Chain A
Amino acid sequence: MHESGNDTERPDRGIPESELRTLAENYPDIVARLDRAHRHLYINPAVEQLTGISREAFAGKRIAELGFPDQAVAIWEAGLERVFAAGRSEVLDIRLSTPKGERQIESRLVPEFAPGGKLETVLAITRDVTERRLTEQALHRTSDILEKVFGSINVLLAYMDRDFNFLKVNQAYAEADQHAPEFFVGRNHFELYPNPENESLFRQVVETGEPAYFFEKPFVYAEHPERGVTYWDWTVQPVKDLSGRVEGVVLSLLNVTDKVLAKQRVEVTAEELRRSNAALQATLTELNRTQQQVIQSEKLAALGTLAAGVAHELNNPLMGVMNYVAFARKRMKDPEVAYPLERADQELKRIRELLRNMLTFARPSTGAVTSVDLATVLARTVALVAPDFRARQIGLAQEIPEALPHVLGREGRLQQIFLNLLLNARDAVEASAEKRVTLRARITDSAVAVDVQDTGVGIPEAIQGRIFDPFFTTKPPGKGTGLGLSVVQSAVSELGGTITFASRTGVGTTFTVWVPKASVEA
């Protein structure tokens, strides 16, 4: 604060005394002239504003006589002594109680040399610097805080000029690229990290004065590809001077790689959850379906038991009635009675068939499952139905490969399955223009598939779910018992096979029975 001044050649020598007086009278600082006895020879009106004491009260008075605090008086007097002694100007810092409160003032003591070099007076120029000091302190504090934050924060910070030359980077910024902060100063950001896209974004900030923000921007260190992709939140803040002109930019970079990766993991987990949820849903659907099947099979079992009981009990009376009627027919010569008896006989035989089917349906047969020559079974079944088909002018085609492997099953059951399907096909084509039934065998890895395909009316979609239900029939009364397909299905599943069908109304139906091969290698 002290400044040296050997002011023998002062530039104000050319200003007339009267002008200097005008200047002093109107100067905002307190201007006073004191002699060697520290008496006021002159003081300007500014003193009244600071001290509340009229300038007249100062005339001829020493500082100590004006009622200022002792400490302030002592500083002034010592200062004056030194300036008179040394002939050099000096600046004093003084705290002063005034009507405006505690003020910080600065007194500049300037020696005045008379012509001939004699030092008779000192000019004291005193200024209230309270506000300036506060501002300086605040500025200092701000700058200190800024420096500490800048230095310690783990956000990467760089201050650049308008052309993106680094002016200052923090430790975090420097460390991220494994350099010291000094390395960056004076270098250009985009020479160091060329990226036309980013450069244009930065330039936009400079030109518009609007900050820019980018979130989770991926970045790969060109010189350190081994670090992989990192993710950063960017802000580019314009730094403006008082006129609003952009002087530079502060770039801040926050590494959010962990957050992004965590988010990605969450997404993956969520996706896995969605997938397993879907799988669970599918399982549930499957479970519901299985449950329906179980209910269905339990229903069938209960129905089967009931049917078997009824069928059994009916056998004895049926046997009696059949023979009573047969006897009556033999004895009855009256043609009027002969006809109803003949019909009674036919209908009784239908009842016998119905009961037989019900018993088959009700109970799994007990014979052992053995290796069966499927070709023979199919040939026998075809032989059974062929005359009937011929009589009805239904074409019966066979597509049976040679060397058909043996299958696992019971011969009687297999024959019953194909017989039922062929008779169903026969009934299905009855009303068709083209009456054709195809019996086809196909060899798969573990099974033989047998198709019974017809050119019949097809099964309407609405009833496709019910065709295997017992007593479900679409045939006119008297044509079918409604047990055929349920018998077939239970026979097929009893042999460990499956039965499916495909049907199109007006085109025809294909039933396919898969029977397991007797030996997979065969």
Chain B
Amino acid sequence: MTGQRKARAIMSKRVLVIDDEQAAREAFVYALDDEPYAIETAASGEEGLIKAQAQRPDLIFLDLRMPGIDGVETLRRLQVCCAEVPVYIVTGFRKEYVSALEQAARDGLTFEVTDKPLDDEQIRAITHTVFGPPKTFD
């Protein structure tokens, strides 16, 4: 397990974006286009869980308000498979989810919350915070 992760880390970091909005998903794709990360996207919580289990991302951007299971439920289920993966919740509805998020925090879940809309610099700043500044190999 540890060996596998190390191997992937050497190749490139994996970022999973779970958001039902195409514009939001593609915002991450374009913002991180020049960065040495592999970007995966999922259009629902359910799809996100499958991809998280299969691909073991190093960072997850998670929307809250989605059809199907919402972001908070997705967060709880991610805890089962991928507890160690840092999760950044990116939402336009922080206030509507305050109590659910507070409850999640009390239940021992760890996550960061940031508000939509994020511009490219903010997206890159978050990834750099998690992964450290990108190294240039050339």
B38 contacts partner chain A, Cβ-Cβ < 8 Å: no
- Per-residue CB contact flags for chain A residues 305-339 toward chain B (1 = under 8 Å, else 0) read 00000001001111111111011001000000000
Q: Are A312 and B117 in contact (CB under 8 A)?
A: no
Q: Which residue of A lies closest to B124 (CB)?
A: A326
- Residues of B near A352 (CB, < 8 A) are 117, 119
- Residues of A near B47 (CB, < 8 A) are none
Known: A323-B27, A327-B31, A327-B33. A318 touches B117 (CB 8 A): yes
Known: A322-B27, A323-B30, A324-B30. A315 touches B116 (CB 8 A): yes
B80 contacts partner chain A, Cβ-Cβ < 8 Å: no
Expressed in whole angstroms, the minimum distance between the Cβ of B121 and any Cβ of chain A is: 8
Q: Are A320 and B22 in contact (CB under 8 A)?
A: yes
Known: A315-B92, A366-B98. A322 touches B117 (CB 8 A): yes
B23 contacts partner chain A, Cβ-Cβ < 8 Å: yes
- Residues of B near A187 (CB, < 8 A) are none
Tally of chain B residues near chain A (CB < 8 A): 23
Q: Are B92 and A312 in contact (CB under 8 A)?
A: yes
Question: Which chain B residues (44-95) contact chain A, with CB distance < 8 Å?
Answer: 92-93, 95
| Interface majority SS (helix, strand, loop, mixed), chain B | helix
Residues of A within 8 A of B (CB): 312, 315-324, 326-327, 330, 349, 352, 363, 366
B104 contacts partner chain A, Cβ-Cβ < 8 Å: no
B118 contacts partner chain A, Cβ-Cβ < 8 Å: yes
Q: Which residue of A lies closest to B30 (CB)?
A: A327
- Residues of A near B107 (CB, < 8 A) are none
CA distance A321 to B22 in the complex (A): 11
Q: Which of A319, A321, A363 contacts B118 (CB 8 A)?
A: A319
Q: Are A323 and B95 in contact (CB under 8 A)?
A: no
Q: Which residue of A lies closest to B25 (CB)?
A: A320
Q: Are B119 and A349 in contact (CB under 8 A)?
A: yes
- Residues of A near B92 (CB, < 8 A) are 312, 315-316
- Residues of A near B98 (CB, < 8 A) are 366
CA distance A363 to B92 in the complex (A): 13
Q: Which residue of B lies closest to A367 (CB)?
A: B98
B112 contacts partner chain A, Cβ-Cβ < 8 Å: no
10 closest A-B pairs (Cβ-Cβ)? A320-B23, A319-B117, A323-B27, A315-B92, A327-B30, A326-B120, A316-B21, A315-B116, A318-B117, A323-B30
CA distance A324 to B119 in the complex (A): 10
B138 contacts partner chain A, Cβ-Cβ < 8 Å: no
Q: Are A323 and B120 in contact (CB under 8 A)?
A: yes
- Residues of A near B21 (CB, < 8 A) are 316-317, 320
